[in-house]
Amino acid sequence: MRTASKKTLLVTAAAFLAAGLVLTHGNRASQSGRCCPSIVSMSAFAAEAAKPTGTNATAKAAVPRLVDLGADRCIPCKAMAPILKELKAEYAGRMDVEFIDVWKNPGAGKAYKIKLIPTQIFIDATGKERFRHEGFFSKKDILAKWKELGVEFKPAAKRDAKK
């Protein structure tokens, strides 16, 4: 009797574990409400929609770029949003900051060859990828990585400091 009870208990526990794994790690590509990190579904896409090309890209001054690929429903991606907004405002004209929602634009994930979201890609002023990070990345760590890559951003001088 004891052996049968133990076997039943083990089978039941295994069933609950399997059900939990299926619910947690099911087909995330088709469930856009799921959170990260997740493997991103890739579809055919023209690369020019994800990466700037042509006259628009060359018209801008060559500055480093930070491209963050994520989704607006992903919890770590949501945590990145205010950081990206701050970087974009604080370093305007000195660094381009771009967010691409790969659930709304799945081809961008393919163009950038990402595996999970969020992914931050550090691109130097010449257009060469220098580093990529998967997962949440703090503002302090982003700026430290740029510095490590040889690009140091000093905060812009405060306007009207006397007011």
Length of the chain: 163
Percent above pLDDT 70 for the chain:
57
Domain residue extents for the chain: 1-30, 47-148
Structure tokens at 133: 């990070």
Structure tokens at 150: 């040889």
Residue pLDDT, tens place only, 94-107: 999 999 999 999 99
**Cis before residue 76, ω within 30 degrees of 0?**
no
HSE-CB at 136 with a 13 A cutoff on CA atoms is 13
CATH number of the domain at 47-148, please? 3.40.30.10
Average predicted confidence (pLDDT) for the chain: 73
Which residue carries 């009797």 as its tokens?
A: 1
pLDDT band at 87 (very low <50, low <70, confident <90, very high): very high
Contact 54, 33 (CB under 8 A): no
Q: What is the distance between the alpha carbons of residues 110 and 95, in angstroms, rounded to a whole number?
A: 24
pLDDT band at 154 (very low <50, low <70, confident <90, very high): confident
